[in-house]
């Protein structure tokens, strides 16, 4: 299933004058405030990424993010071996 074609969910925002509502507006787009603790359920690092990368991302999450354990990609799990999660 990990290789299945992706479906997509889009959030569409229409604003004629975004600078009235949002502080970070450019020609390229708009930054919309978002509660990270509400948004993020899980954080994964890419398949085959080195251990130090997972540790570094965990440190970044500890510093700036909601309280979450950074998990290895489940694609790293070996058939027959223990699930890496």
Partner 1 sequence: MYKASTILGDFDKDNLKIWRYMDLGKFISLLMRGELFFVRVGILADSADLYEGALTQLNFDRPELAAEYLARMLDVPGNPPDIRDTVGRYAADPDRLLQTVDMVRRFVYVLCWHASNYESAAMWKVYVQGNEGIAIQSTVGRLKGSLNVARESSGYSRCVTTIQNASGFLWISWRSPSGSA
Name the minimum Å distance from CB 78 to partner 1.
Answer: 15
Q: Determine if 67 is a binding residue for partner 1 (CB under 8 A).
A: no
Query: 């229409």: which residue's tokens?
Result: 14
Phi, psi of 67 (to 5 degrees): -70, 100
Name the minimum Å distance from CB 72 to partner 1.
Answer: 11
Binding mask 32-61 for partner 1 (x = CB under 8 A): xxxxx-xxxxxxxxxxxxx--x--xx--xx
Sign of CA dihedral 76, 58, 43, 12: negative
Residues in the chain: 85
Binding footprint of partner 1 on the chain (CB under 8 A): 1-18, 20-21, 24, 27-36, 38-50, 53, 56-57, 60-61, 64-65, 73-75
């Amino acid at each position: 299933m990990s290789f299945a074609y992706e479906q997509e969910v889009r959030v569409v925002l229409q604003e004629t004058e975004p600078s009235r509502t949002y502080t970070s507006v450019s020609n390229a787009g708009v930054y919309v405030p978002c509660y990270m603790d509400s948004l993020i359920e899980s954080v994964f690092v890419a398949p085959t990424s080195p251990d130090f990368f997972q540790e570094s991302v965990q440190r970044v999450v500890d510093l700036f993010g909601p309280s979450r354990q950074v998990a290895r990609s489940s694609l790293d799990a070996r058939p027959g071996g223990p699930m890496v999660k």
